[in-house]
Amino acid sequence: MYGHDFPVPDDGPAGGLLDQVEAAEAALRAAAGRGRPGPEDGSTADTDPQDYFAALIDADQKIEPRDWMPEAYRKTLIRQIAQHAHSEIIGMQPEGNWISRAPSLKRKAILLAKVQDEAGHGLYLYAAAETLGVTRDELVEMLLSGRQKYSSIFNYPTLTWADVGAIGWLVDGAAIVNQVPLCRCSYGPYARAMIRVCKEESFHQRQGYEILYVLASGTPEQRTMAQDAVDRWWYPSLAMFGPPDGDSTHSQQSMAWKIKRFSNDELRQRFVDMCVQQAEVLGLRLPDPDLRWNESRQAYDYTQPDYAELMRVIAGDGPCNRQRITHRRRADADGAWVREAAAAYAAKRTAERTSDRATVLA
Amino acid sequence: MTVPRQGRAGWPLWEVFVRARRGLSHTHVGSLHAPDAELALRNARDLYTRRQEGVSIWVVPAQAITASSPDEKDAFFEPAADKVYRHPTFYPVPDGAAHL
Amino acid sequence: MEYLLGLGDDALVAAQRLGEWVTVAPELEEDVALANIALDQLGAARLLLGYAGELEGAGRDEDALAYLRSDREYRNCLLVELPNGDFATTMAKLLLLSAYQLPLYAALSVGADERLAAIAGKARKEVAYHLDHASLWTVRLGDGTEESHRRMQAAVDELWPYTVELFAADPAAPVDPAGLRSAFLANVEPVLETATLDRPADGWGPDGGRAGLHTEHLSYLLAEMQVLHRAHPGARW
């Protein structure tokens, strides 16, 4: 409802990906239709839970909250879903930075709606994580104390309005490429959350792309602003897919459990291949002199991001790490008295109802 | 250093059910935290119907829901009868969809 | 035109202030709620300013009116431009604003100007929700803890004088604000009572907003809101 009141110059960058989300949703329903694996009469009493879990995964069935699951599977999911939720919440800050200064009222409305969506996505994801037996308060505490991470991309500053466009196009674009396969994740609540998130995110990417499109075809100053933003956000966006496959610690087990469906490098390549044509439509340059089509691979060759920088930012030494977490801690601390008041009010009402009932009984 | 989060001790979990359109039954769409039912209802409206996904909302304290095991096979669960059923279905499945 | 600017500027400045809450609300659910209310106010502001520009007939659209007027040309009431303060102050502002906007939009929605009536009809439904949200929180903070009660009472006391301006008589207006005060009080007083808060005594009230004489705060708010737009004259966004 906020995303369709502007023209999209081509088919729209997220068009094909949305089809994949629809396909994932259809697959989820189909799997539900097939029912669970095992004997026809459903007698599985003598089946070992581990075998049953493995059979569900093999049959592309969803694992649901009360199913038995290996402890490592549960922990991996909690870590990944929580990190994803934290990223949505911290990710509100760099864009929220421009709500007050958005250059038109329409842009202000779209940006407000987008940042609000991110809060909503964080909440869907926290709810999905809670089905695994962890509370949201515990997850928030781990974010605030630095024991759980969020996506390192949000530790870069938004210096100009064009950065809002670049985040939408590149950062949300990379996020969608990452997230679309998660719509087929083996854990049901996470897969369902991702289907909802991906559908809503398609407008995010379009609005960012459209911001850059207007800037790139605007005044010379606007065009410079747009190119500068793409120059700064390109490599950090490539780094969002994580370390190269050889260095990725969690990948193999996650692939076996069907939490993860493609490797970091596969997804990064997919993203690069998408962006090249989109950049051409914008008339903006991707800041990689070695970017060129490789006929034999049927893919673009490109320069890898600086993984040493990625590791530094993950370790806490990016431009905005301290600022982002301080902001979140302050908001949380400033809100404590409000949360306490609401809890106290609810407790009083419950006590009143209890004493009313006691009076009636007496 | 972890400092326990302040102030949320009394904010229970609520399960949210939305009627997408007239003629359909309420469908579970997810959960949220709120201090009481009135705020839970408002928060549910803001969170789960931002894109006009519903015409009617129910909120239910998660603790008030008693769940059976999904497959009625206790061997497969650590059933903890006191554990609430938290099973967010994040989109409404229209009534009439097969085998759901 | 001046009257429409007053309505539109109230909504726009309120939206700008509410937008400042995004990422710093007391709980994530409240980030979402405050953003919703900000979007409602912003949506009403765009319709009202767009209509005001058309009536003026000088080619100014919603953005020209929002971004290229100085604080002396803004016609909003002082209440909406005051800094957000703590969450109690923001909820008290929202309570007082929505308790005033609700009967105002209700009256405008059945007024003679059809275009304005349509805008008001839409805004009225939204504002009813804002009033509901502010009322729920006023009650919870007023009747919550000692600290929240103290903060909520202080907020209501601080802001009450700014409601005087809202009801200054203007017989030429489509709806005379003076006639709205009883409906406003009927919206606010029961909430304060349920919240165990004292209704402040009536007395002094600062004014001047409708004539472009604002507090010192508005100029800063506009400086921030307009900085990018003004730095690129004539650019499209």
| pTM listed for this prediction | 0.90
Q: Give the pLDDT mean for B27-50.
A: 91
* More confident position, A362 or B43: B43
CB < 8 Å to A352, chain C = none
Q: How far is C147 from chain B (nearest CA, A)?
A: 13
Interface of B with A in 21-80 (CB under 8 A): 30-33, 35-36, 39, 47, 50-52, 67, 69-71, 73, 75-79
CATH number of the domain that residue C140 is part of:
1.20.1260.10
Q: Is residue C54 part of a domain?
A: yes
C162 is a domain residue:
yes
C233 touching A (Cβ < 8 Å): no
User: From C139, which residue of chain A is nearest by alpha-carbon distance?
Assistant: A345
Chains that touch C (3 or more CB pairs under 8 A): A, B
Binding partners of B (≥3 Cβ pairs within 8 A): A, C
Reported as a single tens digit per residue, the pLDDT across C179-228 is 999 999 999 999 999 999 999 999 999 999 999 999 999 999 999 999 99
The two tokens of residue C150 are 């103290």
Tell me, yes or no, whether C237 lies in a domain. no
Residue C197 domain boundaries: 2-231
**What pLDDT was estimated at residue C64?**
98
What is the pLDDT at residue A9?
42
Residue C7 lies inside a defined structural domain of this protein: yes
How close does chain B come to C30, measured CA to CA in Å? 8
Contact B30, B48 (CB under 8 A): yes
Asked if the structure places residue C236 within a domain, the reply is: no
Cβ–Cβ gap B4/A141 under 8 Å: yes
The answer to whether the Cβ–Cβ distance between A102 and C228 falls below 8 Å is: yes
**What's the token pair of residue A5?**
């009141």
Q: How many domains does chain C have?
A: 1
Interface test with B, best of A339, A350, A353 (most B CBs within 10 A): A339
Q: Which of A2, A25, A143, A133 is nearest to A84 (CA)?
A: A143
Q: Cβ of B42 and C136 within 8 Å?
A: yes
**Mean pLDDT across B68-95:** 42
C141 touches chain A (CB under 8 A): yes
Strand residues in chain A grouped as ranges (E): 292-294, 299-301
Please check the confidence at residue C103 and state whether its pLDDT lies above 60: yes
Place of tokens 């009313």: A356
User: Residue C76 region, left (φ>0) first, then alpha (ψ -120 to 50), else beta?
Assistant: beta
* Chain B residues inside the 8 Å CB shell of C140: 35, 39
d(CA A196, CA A350): 35
| Residue partners of A75: CB distance under 8 A and separation at least 6 | none
Residues in chain C within 8 Å Cβ distance of B42: 33, 132-133, 136
Structural domains present in chain B: 13-90 (3.10.20.520)
Chain A partners within 8 Å of B39 (Cβ): 342
What pLDDT band is residue A362 in, cutting at 50, 70 and 90? low
Q: Which two tokens stand for residue B39?
A: 């705020």
Q: In this prediction, does ipTM exceed 0.90? A: yes
